[in-house]
Amino acid sequence: MKNLSGKVILITGGTGSFGNRVARHLLKQKPAQIRIYSRDEKKQWEMQRVFPQFRFIIGDVRDPDRLAEAFQGVDYAFHAAALKQVPSCENYPYEAVKTNVIGSQNVCAAAIANGVKCLVALSTDKAVKPVNAMGISKAMLEKIVCSQNQFGGKTTFCCVRYGNVMGSRGSVIPLFRDQIRQDAPLTLTVPDMTRFLMTLDQSVDLVLHAMTQSRGGEIFVRKAPACTVQALAEAMRLKYSPRGARHPIKVVGIRPGEKLHEVLVNEYEMQRITEQPNYYTVHPEYRLPKKAAAKPLGAEYTSANTKQLTSSAQIGELLDMMGQVEMYI
């Protein structure tokens, strides 16, 4: 873990699920200042009531001039700003380009111009073999961020790649909780669809691991279990619904741009990874590891072949670990 005491840290998209949670962790390090950069003044007002000591900056990653001002004096940065809802990005793909692609280039340029020591960008399993506009734009984010170190420079750039972060805004767990509160059926797309499960605290652990380990250009992945959406719905109705196993479940069909299973490391990346008990590190092609982990050709790391949580008790343990979601729903 890097010593962040006395350092200035900036989080783009800092009013989101990740920003709220990582901010709590960073406070323990006693930084000189935490800056929250985002475009939503309502969320900033709500977050400022909890964290009055932070500096809140209204701005959009699409605006390079505003970013240049916000990054002055910053030591470390987390780039979490994104359009991440699959349906809205499918309807308006160029908006995803402007925020996730051009915005990421603007963030990298601001980090370099201001001598930031390390920038960690947040990506998603949907960036791997993408089939939707959000995933394609996040794949370009990865390419932009991870390309920055191939010609040297003082700023270390890397990415982290998440599966489903439990309880984050717009994800399925808050949706199921709302449906249970309203006594409405739990809506499943496809019962056999699998998704990785990671708590917000585990996602914060991953970015801090990346910041500590990165030499530049890597993508860091935290190993995570997965379950089917059917198993998740069954576990949630048992845990949260007064009706228990009698709470209805309705299958509504797959949505445009959705995959049946997600991939966190594809078969090409698997040939240039190093492995730790809880992590994979995908090394850039311009800095291959001296000894890559031995993986058979064609092997991938997916939500279908990772450890599967099949019982409601197992999934319930993770739901307990998720903690309170009121802060970031």
Residues catalogued as catalytic: 126
The runs of H, that is alpha helices, within the chain are 17-27, 41-50, 64-70, 86-91, 93-96, 103-113, 133-147, 172-181, 200-213, 229-240, 312-322
What is the C-alpha to C-alpha distance for residues 37 and 252, in angstroms, rounded to an integer?
37
* Beta sheet of 33-38, edge-to-edge order: 55-58, 33-38, 8-12, 76-79, 118-124, 156-162, 219-222, 279-282, 273-275
Phi, psi of 278 (to 5 degrees): -110, 0
CA distance linking residue 169 with residue 205, whole number of Å: 19
> In the chain, how long is the greatest CA-to-CA distance?
60
Question: Who's near 149: CB < 8 A, 6+ residues apart?
Answer: 156, 157, 215, 216, 217, 284, 287
Residues 6+ apart with CB under 8 A from 128: 135, 139, 161, 262, 263, 264, 265, 266
Question: 234-268: b or e for each residue (b if 16 or more CB lie within 10 Å)?
Answer: bbbbbebbeeeeebebeeeeeeebbbebbbbbeee
